């Protein structure tokens, strides 16, 4: 189908580089994240007596595209709940932002281990076309599990640069929608954002790439909604990356 936005579908082989979000763009792991967050916060809200109950709308509004601990803090603030930040090595049962995030990550890792992950077929076709054309590629993900997911999906060798949640924490880069993670990835690829394309499925990710002044920002609508992605700064919204494969 034609994309939402203006003009014809672009030829990504004409760009100096293409930067991809991971979960929900290359692999359906966004669904695994949603499942893990839902289970974590449903149990936590029941345990702590927090209302209203957690819904998937909370995922899109507060968690999608953000670093794990930032997402926890954002969602809790939406319920007027403040807890100590804690430390990344907090136990998963600790009543801290980090402890809650670690609880979710254990569940995510278990689901990934038990069920595995395959890339979206359309995304794989586009990656094949870009590799054949020699276009440099990067993954820009808020997830600390990016390398594990790429390895499980047999995609790790496709990318010259990976800027993920581990890199962001180590180098003190702010979460999307700040542009820093995309800008760092472009710098490491040796390209200018204005001559590069960025592909995202989250409102915060689209806003991040738009703030970085990327020449083309593509939103992939996996449930967020085309209008919301366009409003966040996408030049074009599609349903599947296979639409961009030659």
- Contacts (Cβ under 8 Å, ≥6 apart) of 180: 168, 173, 174
- Residue 174 and residue 18: Cα distance in Å, rounded? 21
Residue 223: how many other CB atoms lie within 10 Å: 13
- Residue 164 and residue 1: Cα distance in Å, rounded? 31
Residues 200, 209 contacting (CB under 8 angstroms): yes
Return the structure tokens found at 182.
């995309």
Q: Cα dihedral angle (232, 186, 65, 61), rounded to 10 degrees?
A: -20
Q: Which residues are catalytic?
A: 21, 23
- Contacts (Cβ under 8 Å, ≥6 apart) of 244: 9, 10, 12, 126, 218, 238
- Residue 115 and residue 97: Cα distance in Å, rounded? 27
- Residue 33 and residue 155: Cα distance in Å, rounded? 19
Longest dimension (CA), the chain: 55
Q: Which residues pair with 158 in a beta bridge?
A: none
């Amino acid at each position: 189908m034609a994309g939402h936005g203006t003009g014809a579908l672009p030829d990504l082989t004409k760009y100096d580089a293409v930067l991809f979000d991971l979960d929900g763009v290359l692999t359906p792991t966004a669904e695994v994240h949603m499942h893990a967050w839902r289970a974590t916060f449903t149990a936590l809200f029941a345990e702590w007596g927090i209302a209203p109950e957690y819904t998937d709308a909370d995922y899109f509004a507060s968690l999608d595209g953000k670093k794990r601990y930032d997402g926890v803090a954002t969602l809790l603030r939406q319920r007027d709940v403040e807890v100590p930040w804690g430390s990344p090595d907090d136990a998963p049962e600790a009543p801290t932002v980090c402890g809650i995030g670690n609880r979710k990550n254990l569940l995510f890792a278990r689901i990934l281990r038990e069920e595995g992950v395959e890339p979206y077929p359309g995304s794989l076709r586009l990656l094949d076309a870009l590799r054949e054309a020699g276009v440099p590629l990067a993954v820009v993900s808020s997830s600390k599990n990016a390398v594990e997911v790429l390895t499980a999906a047999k995609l790790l060798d496709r990318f010259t640069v990976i800027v993920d949640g581990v890199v962001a924490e180590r180098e003190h880069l702010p979460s999307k929608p700040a542009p820093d993670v995309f800008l760092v990835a472009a710098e490491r690829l040796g390209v200018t954002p204005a001559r590069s394309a960025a592909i995202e499925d989250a409102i915060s990710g689209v806003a991040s790439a738009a703030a970085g002044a990327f020449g083309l920002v593509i939103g992939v609508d996996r449930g967020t909604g085309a209008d919301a992605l366009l409003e966040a700064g996408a030049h074009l919204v599609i349903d599947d990356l296979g639409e961009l494969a030659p």
